[in-house]
Amino acid sequence: MRAKLRETGLDGFIIPRADEHLGEYVPESAERLAFCTGFTGSAGLAIVLLDQAAVFSDGRYTLQLETETDAALWERLHITENPPETWLKAHAAGQKIGYDPWLLSADALDRFTGVKLMAVASNPVDEIWADRPAPPMAPAVPRVLALAGEDSAAKRTRIATILAEAGQDAAVLTDPASLAWLFNVRGTDVGFTPIALGFAILNADASATIFMAGAKLPPETRAHLGNEVSTAERAALPAALAALAGKTVRYDPASMPVWFKTTLEAAGAKISEGVDPVALPRACKNEAEQAGARAAHLRDGVAMTRFLCWLAEAAPGGGETEVSAGEKLLAFRAMGENFRGESFPAISGAGEHGAIIHYRVSEESNRAIKPDEVYLIDSGAQYLDGTTDITRTVWTGPGPAPAAVKEHVTRVLAGHIALATAVFPEGVAGPHLDAFARNALWQAGLDYDHGTGHGVGAYLSVHEGPAGISRAAKTVALKPGMILSNEPGYYLPGAYGIRLENLLLVQNAVFPASKRKFLCFETLTLAPFDRALIEPALLTPAALEWLNAYHKRVLAALGPLLEAPVLAWLQAATAPI
Amino acid sequence: MRAKLRETGLDGFIIPRADEHLGEYVPESAERLAFCTGFTGSAGLAIVLLDQAAVFSDGRYTLQLETETDAALWERLHITENPPETWLKAHAAGQKIGYDPWLLSADALDRFTGVKLMAVASNPVDEIWADRPAPPMAPAVPRVLALAGEDSAAKRTRIATILAEAGQDAAVLTDPASLAWLFNVRGTDVGFTPIALGFAILNADASATIFMAGAKLPPETRAHLGNEVSTAERAALPAALAALAGKTVRYDPASMPVWFKTTLEAAGAKISEGVDPVALPRACKNEAEQAGARAAHLRDGVAMTRFLCWLAEAAPGGGETEVSAGEKLLAFRAMGENFRGESFPAISGAGEHGAIIHYRVSEESNRAIKPDEVYLIDSGAQYLDGTTDITRTVWTGPGPAPAAVKEHVTRVLAGHIALATAVFPEGVAGPHLDAFARNALWQAGLDYDHGTGHGVGAYLSVHEGPAGISRAAKTVALKPGMILSNEPGYYLPGAYGIRLENLLLVQNAVFPASKRKFLCFETLTLAPFDRALIEPALLTPAALEWLNAYHKRVLAALGPLLEAPVLAWLQAATAPI
């Protein structure tokens, strides 16, 4: 790598964990950070200088970073406490530092100052990566209208109107999930998210061009795209951007590779900054997508209930482990119709492992699920008709749960219910509701160090923008049709972790006497909360009423779909408290 | 005016309702908008072109704007629905439009586009305003250390550290409340806020220069300021800014006149954008200021209780009016030690007038307070040791209040209590807590169209930044010592208005077992809520407990200070529910 840098006259190079779409999951061909450093975490960045190097990640990966990387070669640093830009400025002031303009957003690049930044035409990591995997070539497949609920032409017309109203002639789209929604296609290029990697230019007349390897676009997909959508190889992108000379083009400096910005500017196009115009419409699920989500959650509820029933019998000393439990749940899910895989790597954490918020069990960390402890499982599935994400926290028994644990769980549950039952006027955004989910914990001097909720796609990414429920989330007003998670928690390091997660669907709340428009949440997820961990005296009468009504609904919905022993277990698990 | 414009070659001129400090209350000498248009509201702006003119204000003043201005001369417009910048662009595209750089912030000026903006050296309004009042010349008087709690040298050192850490050599200060706090002086230049108008430059070595007419700085004030604070006439400002050539100077484009920006830039100073560095430290009241606030609220509570007792007897058919009631309260306040005047014009609204959020009774609007209706009074006082702001809503009787009114009041009260009892970790800001105060209303499809809380100064402005409790407020983390109002409401147009307001003091919440730092509120205001308007069945047991405990505290604090008949009334008013 250093020889390659010297060859090209560079004093250093920035290697982010990113592909050209700057998303959460990347194909193996883009795992440059892992290739260079050995670090396989999902977020990080390395900087290689001629005589020193550093690799950065966040608190989730502190241990993994130290285990996977060589201290003799790499300084290992916390990415927010010791930001790469500070390190670079201190160690390479004034030097020529290379970067791949496809792998950094304009905003990310702007944070690096005090050095001479040089975009490379060819990534030097790729040049030394002899056995680099080929980029994925899975086909993009059409999404039927019955599931999409709106055809691509109508969607493109809607987004084109947004562009026209903003005085923009075109928008570049770099998020494959935006392509997936806009053109009603899905793919299997990366894990967990059913997307086909590609780029697009959408014009203000609703026509569009998709830039994707021809091999990924079989005839039926081309036919599905229609006449107003042309396709081209990615190599055609520079010429297509050059053709936008004199045009006003929407571009998001926060989420899109800086390559687009520099190429558009060089071509003489006028950049109009704006977020991905697809993000907000995509987040507001239509009736068909809402119906799909409900159907998927019914199946997911059946799988979760079978799993929880199995766990109740197997867990207390049955020799099961974090890994085997996760596999069992996956097997139950795989029995469901339309199952396409997990929506993210499951978090299966027993006892103290539950307190590690982003715990991912490995062969080394795997341990038995023991009697009389807290077990947390956070998992989700991709079904053709919807994406799920659920967390349950259970007491393995057979003894009773300690009062302190029950108090913690019940405070988390009280927050979960407060958010689930929130009613709020139009204009309210996630940051304004986040405290509802924390209030019961705050009153006891407790809190959790993660957001309360993230957006969830319709057979798309389980982490979807633009809305979220946390103080750090953007103040994007919640709109009917948005799906968001409701997942307050509490973590006692070294002891146990608690998280109670359902997905919420934003709905109109009807007050006939009110002139204002109000919204509320419909809870999509269907699975019981563990009664063994609930202290009813700590819930208000209204909260207890919600819990009993929810359990009644779970039983009514899932009961007819369950075999007798599981049904019997669920009847007991959902009996009124 | 138009002759004057033609003389100077201008096609139009912008006249904001502002003085050179861009604050809420302005001296008579700066009431240029009123002089030109006749409109005396507290917020507005006019644009005079050679052949047409428009005057803008907000929803509070729609009626007043139409009454006070001449439709033949002025187009009267809503300032947010028909923004002046849109009107100007449409009516004067490309024309030369003059503005007074002392009366617009850089941000406000930036909003005007599509015309040729020309700063004037001398305001043409002043040139035609023959009987323009002289600027106020009241002396700036020292604030004793016992009330300020920290001497100016210590304050200046603290702020200078902020500048030094930001790499700034100096800061310009244009908010007289910042001067008042930083130099421990107060004045009487404008109504309601005890400030002396002036500017200052604070240097990173903690030395400073105050720019204020020499006549306003008597010898004892100069002595109080000390050797490290020099004073100069305002005419010396340009030279003082010129002396900052090559220096980095902190300037806030949102709150400071653009004149400072252009003058600093012309002088060769480097502008470093940043909010007024005094704002946040000023908002965090020290122990002495907190003690002063408590003492002031005790006196204010005595006055309010005497008033409420008087009202209970006088109101049901006693011939009292909105004006006479307001005067009565003022008289009760004036009996208190250290009283210096009202902190804002009182809102005294009976029945349907209470639904006008910013109602200000006039001779024309004044009406009798009738039996069996809702009466709202929102008022505050300036005491030498603290600033108060309180709203109470009462039922005039003698009959019982209708159930619907009681439900509305109780929902407002539930929100008030939810905020008063909030506990939250460090880092939480007003926008994250606002929903607590609205939740009980939202659950019934109701809301109010104003913020929940604003900052309040220590014998300073009753509307003080930087923190506030509303969705629109800045996300400035709440800090111990901040004083904020807690004033949810509900308004039924044409019928009645409800608002229940106490002031809150942010305090540390102590959880011995928690490693996190938590905050909570101490309620400063002491006066009973009207029991006749409370429906106990609509409050949770915890809320009812808070109410009874609060009333018990009000009685214990005020009882010893009240004469027998008022004490008897308060005993009944605060008896447990």
CB contact under 8 A, B516 and A427: no
**What value does the mean pLDDT take over residues A516-534?**
97
Cα separation, A535 vs A395, in Å, equals 13
**What value does the mean pLDDT take over residues B315-321?**
85
Which residues on chain B are in Cβ contact (under 8 Å) with A433?
435
Cα separation, A303 vs A53, in Å, equals 47
% residues pLDDT > 70 (chain A): 100
Cα separation, A442 vs B520, in Å, equals 10
Cα separation, A74 vs A93, in Å, equals 19
CB contact under 8 A, A445 and B516: yes
Min distance B509 CA to chain A CA atoms (Å): 8
Min distance A516 CA to chain B CA atoms (Å): 7
Residue B161: which residues within 8 A CB-CB, separation 6 or more? none
**Residue entry with tokens 């750090």:** A472
Torsion of CA A86, A92, A93, A98, to 10 degrees: -90
CB contact under 8 A, A425 and B439: no
Query: Which pLDDT does position A216 carry in this prediction?
Result: 96
Interface probe with B: pick from A432, A438, A490, A546, most Cβ of B within 10 Å:
A432
Interface probe with B: pick from A411, A434, A436, A447, most Cβ of B within 10 Å:
A447
Going by pLDDT thresholds of 50, 70 and 90, the confidence category of residue A74 is very high
Which residues on chain A are in Cβ contact (under 8 Å) with B509?
445
SS3 content of chain B, % helix, strand, coil (to 5): 40, 20, 40
* Residue A23, helix vs strand vs coil: coil
- Segment holding A266, helix H or strand E: helix A258-267
Min distance A437 CA to chain B CA atoms (Å): 11
Which residues on chain B are in Cβ contact (under 8 Å) with A431?
431-432, 475
Which CA distances in Å does A368 have to A54, A324, A395, A551?
36, 9, 14, 29
CB pairs under 8 A between A and B: 70
Q: Would you say residue A329 has pLDDT above 90?
A: yes
Please tell me the total number of residues recorded for chain B in this structure.
577
**Residue of chain A whose alpha carbon sits nearest to that of B477:** A471
Q: Would you say residue A318 has pLDDT above 80?
A: yes
Cα separation, A344 vs A237, in Å, equals 31
Going by pLDDT thresholds of 50, 70 and 90, the confidence category of residue B515 is confident
A119 neighbors A104 (Cβ within 8 angstroms): no
Which CA distances in Å does A38 have to A35, B493, B571?
6, 67, 74
DSSP per-residue letters across A496-543: EEEE-BEEEEEEEEP-TT-SS-EEEEEE-------GGG--GGGS-HHH
Q: Would you say residue B543 has pLDDT above 80?
A: yes
DSSP per-residue letters across A381-437: EEETTEE--EEEEEE--SSPPPHHHHHHHHHHHHHHHHHHT-EEETT-BHHHHHHHH
Interface probe with B: pick from A426, A433, A438, A442, most Cβ of B within 10 Å:
A442
CB contact under 8 A, B436 and A433: no
* Residue B374, helix vs strand vs coil: strand
SS3 content of chain A, % helix, strand, coil (to 5): 40, 20, 40
Which residues on chain A are in Cβ contact (under 8 Å) with B475?
431, 471
Residue A248: which residues within 8 A CB-CB, separation 6 or more? A167, A168, A169, A170, A269, A270, A271, A272
**What value does the mean pLDDT take over residues A464-478?**
96
Min distance B475 CA to chain A CA atoms (Å): 9
Going by pLDDT thresholds of 50, 70 and 90, the confidence category of residue B355 is very high
A84 neighbors A14 (Cβ within 8 angstroms): yes
Per-residue pLDDT reduced to its tens digit, B37-60: 999 999 999 999 999 999 999 988
Which residues on chain A are in Cβ contact (under 8 Å) with B431?
431-432, 475
B459 Rama class: left (phi>0) / alpha (psi -120 to 50) / beta: left
- Nearest by Cα to B40 from B20, B23, B60: B60
Interface probe with A: pick from B419, B447, B492, most Cβ of A within 10 Å:
B447
CB contact under 8 A, B442 and A422: yes
Cα separation, A31 vs A15, in Å, equals 10
Min distance B147 CA to chain A CA atoms (Å): 33
Q: Would you say residue A361 has pLDDT above 80?
A: yes
Per-residue pLDDT reduced to its tens digit, B241-269: 999 999 999 999 999 999 999 999 999 99
Structure tokens at B546: 């808070």
Interface probe with A: pick from B419, B432, B470, B490, most Cβ of A within 10 Å:
B432
**What value does the mean pLDDT take over residues B533-547?**
97
Adjacency order of strands within the sheet including B374-379: B347-350, B374-379, B390-395
**Residue entry with tokens 């006939």:** A512
The CA-based angle B406-B412-B415, given to 5 degrees, is 140
Q: Would you say residue B315 has pLDDT above 80?
A: no
Cα separation, B371 vs A241, in Å, equals 74
B392 neighbors B398 (Cβ within 8 angstroms): no
Which CA distances in Å does B155 have to A353, B138, B202, B286?
48, 24, 11, 11
Going by pLDDT thresholds of 50, 70 and 90, the confidence category of residue A505 is very high
The CA-based angle B22-B16-B119, given to 5 degrees, is 90
Number of alpha carbons in the 13 Å side-chain half-sphere of residue B347: 23
Which residues on chain B are in Cβ contact (under 8 Å) with A540?
540
- b/e string for A513-529 if b means 16 or more Cβ within 10 A? eeeeebbbbebbbbbbb
Going by pLDDT thresholds of 50, 70 and 90, the confidence category of residue B139 is very high
Going by pLDDT thresholds of 50, 70 and 90, the confidence category of residue A388 is very high
Cα separation, A10 vs A28, in Å, equals 26
Per-residue pLDDT reduced to its tens digit, B64-104: 999 999 999 999 999 999 999 999 999 999 999 999 999 99
Q: Would you say residue B316 has pLDDT above 80?
A: no
Q: How buried is residue A531: exposed, middle or buried, by Cβ count under 10 Å (0-12/13-18/19+)?
A: middle
Radius of gyration of chain A (CA): 25
Interface probe with B: pick from A471, A514, A539, most Cβ of B within 10 Å:
A471
- Nearest by Cα to A292 from A173, A384, A401: A384
Of B445, B513, B540, which has the smallest distance from its Cβ to A540's Cβ? B540
- Segment holding B492, helix H or strand E: strand B489-492
Per-residue pLDDT reduced to its tens digit, A148-176: 999 999 999 999 999 999 999 999 999 99
Query: Which pLDDT does position B453 carry in this prediction?
Result: 98
Q: Euclidean distance between the first and final Cα of chain B, in Å?
A: 64
A199 neighbors A22 (Cβ within 8 angstroms): no
Query: Which pLDDT does position A187 carry in this prediction?
Result: 97
Min distance B431 CA to chain A CA atoms (Å): 6
- Segment holding B297, helix H or strand E: helix B287-314
Of A447, A511, A540, which has the smallest distance from its Cβ to B516's Cβ? A447
ipTM, 2 decimals? Answer: 0.93
Longest dimension (CA), chain B: 74
Please tell me the total number of residues recorded for chain A in this structure.
577
Per-residue pLDDT reduced to its tens digit, B152-191: 999 999 999 999 999 999 999 999 999 999 999 999 999 9
CB contact under 8 A, B514 and A471: no
Mean pLDDT of chain A: 96
Going by pLDDT thresholds of 50, 70 and 90, the confidence category of residue B25 is confident
Min distance B266 CA to chain A CA atoms (Å): 27
Q: Other CB atoms closer than 10 Å to residue B268's CB: what's the count?
A: 11
Adjacency order of strands within the sheet including B248-251: B229-232, B208-211, B199-203, B170-173, B248-251, B270-273
A135 Rama class: left (phi>0) / alpha (psi -120 to 50) / beta: beta
Of A435, A513, A516, which has the smallest distance from its Cβ to B436's Cβ? A435
Min distance B430 CA to chain A CA atoms (Å): 9
Which residues on chain B are in Cβ contact (under 8 Å) with A475?
431, 471
DSSP per-residue letters across A53-76: EEEEE-GGGHHHHHHHS-TTT-EE
Query: Which pLDDT does position A515 carry in this prediction?
Result: 85
CB contact under 8 A, B424 and A435: yes
Min distance B173 CA to chain A CA atoms (Å): 30
Q: What is the DSSP letter of B401?
A: P
Chain B positions contacting chain A at CB under 8 Å are 422-425, 427-429, 431-436, 438-439, 442-447, 471, 475, 509, 511, 513-514, 516, 518, 540
Per-residue pLDDT reduced to its tens digit, B422-480: 999 999 999 999 999 999 999 999 999 999 999 999 999 999 999 999 999 999 999 99
Among A63-72, A197-206, A282-291, the least confident range = A63-72
Cα separation, A470 vs A449, in Å, equals 10
Q: Would you say residue A63 has pLDDT above 90?
A: no
Which residues on chain B are in Cβ contact (under 8 Å) with A427?
471
User: Residue A113 — φ and ψ, nearest 5°?
Assistant: -130, 165
Cα separation, A343 vs A192, in Å, equals 5
Adjacency order of strands within the sheet including B339-342: B339-342, B381-383, B386-387
Cα separation, B345 vs B389, in Å, equals 11
B354 neighbors B448 (Cβ within 8 angstroms): no
